[in-house]
């Protein structure tokens, strides 16, 4: 019987519904364990609950709590770890946790649910089952597990490439359009031959995660007035996400709506300004993107917004010696080993 650690953090998978209101229940996440044991009963669980929140209430202090709690665990007698989470910020925590925990010598599966475990449409049990099967086949690595609505298979993502769920169908997707693996008919199946992309990496967090220096993320939209944006004193960097063409408003005549106004504020406050995501394989660049780079914006290439935020938070809160290498390269796996 496999020995698994279950790290409970809240979310829908650990919630209950009363009179149409879903809320995090102190004992709610234990319900999914009961359901799993009733159907499979093939895991010896060790259960911890370092926090219990709805994930839309997540802030960096919660990441500190989760990561530092896990880094303090004795993993010698453990075959794998499953972290339950809410779906709203699942992609953000997937990026952060994968970067912080990629050096662990056990597989880690992060998962969530679309409905509370007892709901007839809930994917909670399917997701936990897929996470267990993943941990049985992988020797190490961090992954995100989620069964999208109307899918027969449970998808397994590389967490740093995962987009947040869309607002119409509540479906997650991967930035490169690929799944790492899937669970179909209770079988774990590798989907993408990506092992050659994984190189040995140093761990991003060596001792304890402390995220005191902040990163402000700004998403552009027509009519965004940059004159109204104030940069707090504890912000070390601004992450300005671009439109899909790696662009943002760079109007030199009407700076109220131009990102150049924010860039100038950052320069005066000694705050670094990053823009994502540029495409490495494009030979041409729009004039607006070129203007922002000419005025000092630092480009991030081929990266999701979620991973951009996680990377910058780690960059400004850890002792990173080679910052350019840190930004330009994957810090996902130390290595990846598969039991075939």
**For the segment 244-293, what is each residue's pLDDT rounded down to a tens digit?**
999 999 998 998 999 999 999 999 999 999 999 888 876 789 999 999 99
User: For 205-316, where are the E strands, in sequence order?
Assistant: 214-218, 235-241, 272-278, 298-301
CA distance 189 to 134: 9
Cα angle for residues 39, 173, 339 (degrees, 5° grid): 55
- Looking only at the bridges linking them, the beta strands covering 187-190 and 181-184 are antiparallel
Average pLDDT of the chain to the nearest whole number? 90
83: left (phi over 0), alpha (psi -120 to 50) or beta: beta
**Confidence band for 203, pLDDT divided at 50, 70 and 90:** low
Residue 175 token pair: 């930035």
CA distance 158 to 109: 10
Neighbours of 130 (CB within 10 A): 28
pLDDT in tens, 179-202: 999 999 999 999 876 554 444 445
Region 110-119: mean pLDDT is: 95
pLDDT in tens, 139-183: 999 999 999 999 999 999 999 999 999 999 999 999 989 999 999
**Domains defined for the chain, CATH in brackets:** 2-197 (3.40.50.1170), 214-317 (3.40.50.40)
Residue 193 confidence (pLDDT): 61
Neighbours of 85 (CB within 10 A): 28
Angle between helices 28-39 and 124-137 (to 10 degrees): 70
Residue 204 confidence (pLDDT): 66
Cα angle for residues 178, 179, 185 (degrees, 5° grid): 140
pLDDT top residue among 81 and 22: 81
Residue 199 confidence (pLDDT): 44
Does the predicted model carry a pTM greater than 0.75?
yes
């Amino acid at each position: 019987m496999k020995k698994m650690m279950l790290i409970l953090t809240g979310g829908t998978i650990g919630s209950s519904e009363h009179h149409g209101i879903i809320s995090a229940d102190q004992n709610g996440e234990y319900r999914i364990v009961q359901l799993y044991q009733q159907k499979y009963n093939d895991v010896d669980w060790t259960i911890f609950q370092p926090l219990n929140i709805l994930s839309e209430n997540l802030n960096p202090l919660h990441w500190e709590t989760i990561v530092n709690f896990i880094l303090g665990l004795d993993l010698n007698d453990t075959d794998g770890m499953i972290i339950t989470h809410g779906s709203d910020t699942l992609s953000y925590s997937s990026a952060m946790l994968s970067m912080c925990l990629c050096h662990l010598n056990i597989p880690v599966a992060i998962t969530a649910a679309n409905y509370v475990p007892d709901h007839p449409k809930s994917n909670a049990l399917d997701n936990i089952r897929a996470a267990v099967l993943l941990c049985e086949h992988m020797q190490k690595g961090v992954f995100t597990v989620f069964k999208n609505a109307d899918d027969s298979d449970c998808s397994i993502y590389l967490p740093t490439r995962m987009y947040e769920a869309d607002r119409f169908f509540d479906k997650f997707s991967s930035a490169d359009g690929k799944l790492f693996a899937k669970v179909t008919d209770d079988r774990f199946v590798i989907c993408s031959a990506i092992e050659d992309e994984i190189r040995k990496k140093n761990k991003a967090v060596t001792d304890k995660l402390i995220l005191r220096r902040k990163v402000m993320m700004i998403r552009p939209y027509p009519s965004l007035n940059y004159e109204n944006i104030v940069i707090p004193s504890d912000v070390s960097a601004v992450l300005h996400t671009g439109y899909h063409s790696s662009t943002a408003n760079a109007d030199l005549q009407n700076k109220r709506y131009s990102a150049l106004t924010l860039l100038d504020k950052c320069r005066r406050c000694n705050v670094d300004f990053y823009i994502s995501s540029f495409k490495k394989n494009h030979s041409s660049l729009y004039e607006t993107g070129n203007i922002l780079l000419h005025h000092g914006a630092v480009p991030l290439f081929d990266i999701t917004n979620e991973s951009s935020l996680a990377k910058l938070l780690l960059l400004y809160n850890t002792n990173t010696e080679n910052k350019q290498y840190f930004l330009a390269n994957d810090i996902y796996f130390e290595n990846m080993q598969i039991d075939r």
